[in-house]
Amino acid sequence: MPDGYEFPVDRTQVMLFARAVGDINPAFCDPKDPATVANGGIVAPPTFVQCSAHWEPDYALDLTRPGRKQRAGGGGGLGRGLHAEQHYEYHHPFHPGDTLYATQKAGERWEKEGRRGGKLLFSESITEYRNQDDVLCVTARSVGVQTEKAVEQ
């Protein structure tokens, strides 16, 4: 898949993620639970696609990978950026055994006048996750903000 990366969904990953966020819903780990059966099998918790960062070749926050690239969106550098918002839109369920294909694109950009750091520069990064059948499963929208200058005390 051009300009994207593959994210295999694994049952163990789903279970460990659910436990890490404190969600004991059997739909995330027990294939025999009636709710799980009704869902068509084990499903992933709502924010599970964040785990795809482990599969993203150029993930900007992974300091263990040489040659990583800064992508559109996110907080940016120079100590003036931060992650401001994260939004998820769910289109179709996915299950362990599926492979998601993530593609990223820049979203909107806007600015607003800040009180202490000058202009606030906002930018979106949009990631679409499609399954092996090219069905759109999740759209994730990340909003980063960067101040024009260092915040004055």
Cβ 149 vs Cβ 114: under 8 Å: no
At residue 91, the pLDDT reads: 97
- What is the pLDDT averaged over residues 4-33? 92
List of residues 6+ apart from 112 with CB closer than 8 A:
119, 120, 122
At residue 126, the pLDDT reads: 95
Distance CA 133, CA 115 (A): 48
Q: Which of 73, 137, 72, 127 is nearest to 100 (CA)?
A: 137
**Average pLDDT score over the chain:** 85
Domain chopping of the chain, boundaries: 4-58+68-147
Token digits for 143?
């909003």
4-58+68-147 belongs to which CATH class?
Answer: alpha beta
- What is the pLDDT averaged over residues 69-84? 60
At residue 24, the pLDDT reads: 87
Confidence of residue 53 (pLDDT cuts 50, 70, 90): confident
CA distances 26 to 67, 77, 94, Å, are 40, 40, 16
At residue 78, the pLDDT reads: 52
